[in-house]
Amino acid sequence: MDKNSSVAEEGNKEEEQYLNLIREILTRGTWEEGRNGRTKSIFGHSMRFSLQDGKIPILTTKKTAWKTCLKELLWFIRGETDNKLLQDQGVHIWDGNSTREFLDSRGLNNYDVNELGPIYGRQWRNFNAPYISKKDKRFAEGLPENEKLYYNIEGGVDQLQQIIDALKDPAQRTSRRLIMTAWNPCQLDNMALPPCHILCQFNVHDGNKLSCSMYQRSNDEACGTSFNIASYSFLTHLIAKHCGLEAYEFVYFKGNCHIYEEHVDGLKLQITREPYPFPTVSIKQVRENINDYCVDDFEIHNYQHHEPIKFQMVA
């Protein structure tokens, strides 16, 4: 798509929600000294994004690496927690949180490098199942068979599959209990990083229109928010396709909305840019198992964007 073509007359009021939030934080936010640096922040915000007719809210005021975002989402969906699987796909989102130094700072000395513990995907697919580190599993290989049992426990609650099963059933799909949470107080200390996006709810209205709302406790507005919007919108489109529904809306509820000091200049540039209309997404096929979708199943159409802005992720 020609980056020099004019912005459509209708503009993009939905992306303006994000730009206005950045302006609000820069204008009235307060400076705080946090765990990993100095941030300017406000508390409490919400946004709404239409997903109708295939629309996908991938931010346009900077180039967003949507394939990287999608690879991470599919990794979550499969319940994976090994960062090496992402690295092998050229995805480095979790690198800063999976080093020896970072894991040791969390007291996770028995984890291998790139082992992240029971984070998002584990909670989505095996909520509260005991987490056994790779080191302990290697130790168990030398044990008698009857003593290996504890080290091979999976179990837990497959929250995502329960939601899929309900959405496929016309008698259950309008339930107000279609909730998936990654926040598990019992296992927070076993996670390399406690989850930022902690809870989502799915809702069907008018027979077949699927929406998703998500609550996020901690929002890195420069690096994280563009991915969070795209990721849960991809998830909603995927689940709608998988369950024979139509994607309708993503509703985003935000707690601590912050800008790291080192990101201020880049965001000041970004808010000067006029957003383009959002692209659309199509999913080529319906697979039997939600685990089996791959990046090549997704096609993005008409993604027009401004130049990238480099923001260093803060671990």
- 200-231: b or e for each residue (b if 16 or more CB lie within 10 Å)? bbbbbeeeebbbbbbbbebbbbbbbbbbbbbb
CB atoms within 10 A of CB 247: 27
- C-alpha separations of 160 from 165, 235, 239 in Å: 9, 11, 10
Active-site annotation, residues: 196
Q: Which of 45, 3, 49 is nearest to 25 (CA)?
A: 45
- C-alpha separations of 288 from 34, 79, 237, 293 in Å: 45, 17, 16, 9
CB atoms within 10 A of CB 296: 7
Six-digit token string for 315: 């671990």
